[in-house]
Chains A and B, each alone.
Chain A
Amino acid sequence: MSKPKVGIFGFTGCGGCQLEILNLEDQLLDLVAAIDLVHFTEAITEHSDNYDIALVEGAITTRHGVERIEKIGKIAKIIVAIGSCAVNGGLNCLKNLYGTAKAKELVYGDKKDWIDSIDVKPVDAYVKVDYYARGCPPNRFEIVDIIRSLIVGRKPEIPNYPVCVECKRNGNTCVFELGMTCLGPVTRAGCNSRCPNSGSGCDGCRGLIDEPNVNAQKDLLKKYGLTVEDMVDRFNLYNACREKNIAEKVTGGN
């Protein structure tokens, strides 16, 4: 793909993923030179419906959103979901846990029927997603790597190993040893272990690796005298849409 036409679109989320692209600073000029940017919700006013690659931020939470993503799905040859909300539904999924109807009632009271709000789903619930730039926020260098790989025609290297690998490369002391909980052993790396680097446990924002050993988490909790609730809350923060039965596995179903 010599100079692909790229659109960057936003759905439900905080907008931080698009901001991460703007945060590229040193690489931003090279990036816009390497692609033909036809839409970027957060940064440009121009718009065209002619694009090859769509970078999609945010979860799908409204009927209008469903229409928009389906349209993108028809136009784009390649869709890249960027950020936890697009990839897994992200924090928005807490609404599903609570109950969409109940949440609408609580927030909008008797005006609830005016509001277009449906159960939260990740982007790939509606369209085929080719690549995932995970994380909250995503790793901007990984976004660049995906775009570069598409230009030169090779497969992007997205780690399929847990955060522990990066933690060790960074020489971190395991946060379990410091008395905290961590989802690192089952969470996909690629963030350069940024939370453990600053002394707090991983929240699992990049989602699970392909073959997570969630059963072993139980023994782990026991070893460090931690509660199951800690772990389930942690899992749900970013992964409630995707990993419904994870919580059951971790608690052994009770």
Chain B
Amino acid sequence: MLYKVLEKNGYRDFVKSLISGFEFIGPVKKDRAVHDFKVIKDFKELDTAYIRTTIPPAKKILFPPDEELVCYEIGENIDVKPVVESGEKILFAINAWDINGMNFLDRVFTTDFIDDNYKAKRDKLIVIGMDTEPAETNFSPSVGAEFATGGFDLYMHDIGDRYFIRVATARGDGLLKRYAVVKDAERNDFKEYDRYMDNYRGRFKLDVDIKSFYDDFEVIYDKKEFWENAAKDCYSCGSCNLVCPTCFCFNVKDDMELNLKKGEKTREWDSCMIPDYGLVAGGHNFRPTKENRLKQRYRCKLKTFKEKYDRYACVGCGRCIEACLANINIAEDINSVKKEVSA
């Protein structure tokens, strides 16, 4: 890692030249409730002071809601072609927990099986991180996701009159050399940066007892009442999964044209909270009730992947808490496990 410093008065020119030189995706105010990551053509559209986005940026870009995987033509032979779309893009002002969410997706899509579509997009994505103000539903520090140690090219911390930049890749270094006037960070810059980080970490107010959830999960696993109560109001609407930066489940659909000669296979975001997720041929459903499904969702996020990859499949962004119309709250549920077990 290299450490550089960019004076604030050089910021605008730096960003402007990135906007004109690349497909540049950054936060834009969408409406009174949220920001959205969009392609930006004009510096004025960019608004890095965002708190909430409905859909995590990386999920939209690397794992789009609808994605063509293969197309085929049926003639004398069946001709099947993979469809892999990617292009160089800059993702600007993504925060640490969303970078960590993307790093989780990296593991999922490249560990047991290399997902070419995901990987092609990821390799060409230039990531420039930036801290944002945590929402009150954010519990990233509890799951160790409020700081990103990798998964980006540059990370810019606003330490007052200048940016302290962590440079993680040669590609990122190249961008600075070409488009910005920076200098190497000095002792004083490091000191400011440490002070800044202490202060930043203090701005996260929500704390969850993730450790006791992990340890006690098996104890409450069969407590039917606990789960019935937790899932009572669930609409089985899947919103919690679909807005989550780490949820990766998808469903593959076959779209054949009416002439039955041509078609494509596409994948679309799926959700383990909707009833048909557990439905298999023959009509059996492995998770017929909403309490089965909620329990499984929490287990996947907070247990399964901790065991598999030694990291939670939750970065504490709080989006699922905000998205849930039934007020089902992962942070409260994590904390209530301890109460339940000690009661």
- The chain A residues found within 8 Å of chain B, CB to CB, are 27, 30-31, 33-34, 144, 147-148, 151-152, 157, 160-162, 164-165, 167-174, 176-178, 184-186, 209-213, 215-216, 219-220, 223
Contact = CB atoms under 8 A, between A and B. Distances in A.
A165 B274 contact: yes
Given A173-B33, A173-B34, A216-B233, A148 B253 contact: no
Nearest to A179: B32
Interface string B253-296: 10011111000000011010011100000000000001000000
Interface stretch (B10-18, B168-176, B237-245): B237-245
26 contacts: A33-B259, A34-B259, A160-B275, A161-B276, A162-B238, A164-B239, A165-B237, A165-B269, A168-B243, A168-B323, A169-B269, A172-B54, A173-B33, A174-B239, A174-B325, A176-B325, A185-B237, A186-B235, A209-B236, A210-B275, A213-B235, A216-B232, A216-B326, A219-B326, A220-B325, A223-B325
B158 to A, nearest CB: 27
B20 interface: no
A219 B269 contact: no
Among A161, A162, A178, which residue has the most Cβ atoms of chain B within 10 A? A161
B8 interface: no
Given A171-B54, A211-B275, A220-B326, A162 B268 contact: no
- Which 8 interchain pairs have the tightest Cβ spacing? A168-B242, A164-B237, A30-B258, A169-B65, A216-B233, A161-B274, A185-B235, A177-B33
Contact of A173 (B31, B275, B327): B31
Interface string B9-44: 000000000000000000000111110100000000
Contacts of A167: 239
A153 B330 CA distance: 43
Contacts of B66: 169
B107 interface: no
Given A169-B269, A172-B54, A148 B256 contact: yes
A28 B239 CA distance: 35
Nearest to A224: B325
Given A160-B276, A216-B235, A169 B268 contact: yes
A209 B236 CA distance: 10
B211 interface: no
Contacts of A171: 36, 54-55, 60, 65
With most chain B CB atoms within 10 A of its CB, the pick from A148, A160, A164 is A164
Given A169-B268, A171-B54, A152 B260 contact: yes
A157 B260 CA distance: 17
B242 A169 contact: yes
Given A171-B54, A219-B233, 19 more contacts: A147-B258, A152-B256, A160-B276, A162-B236, A164-B235, A165-B242, A168-B65, A169-B65, A169-B242, A171-B65, A173-B31, A173-B33, A173-B34, A174-B33, A185-B235, A185-B237, A213-B235, A216-B233, A219-B327
B234 interface: yes
A34 B258 contact: yes
B237 A162 contact: yes
Contacts of B257: 30
A152 B55 CA distance: 36
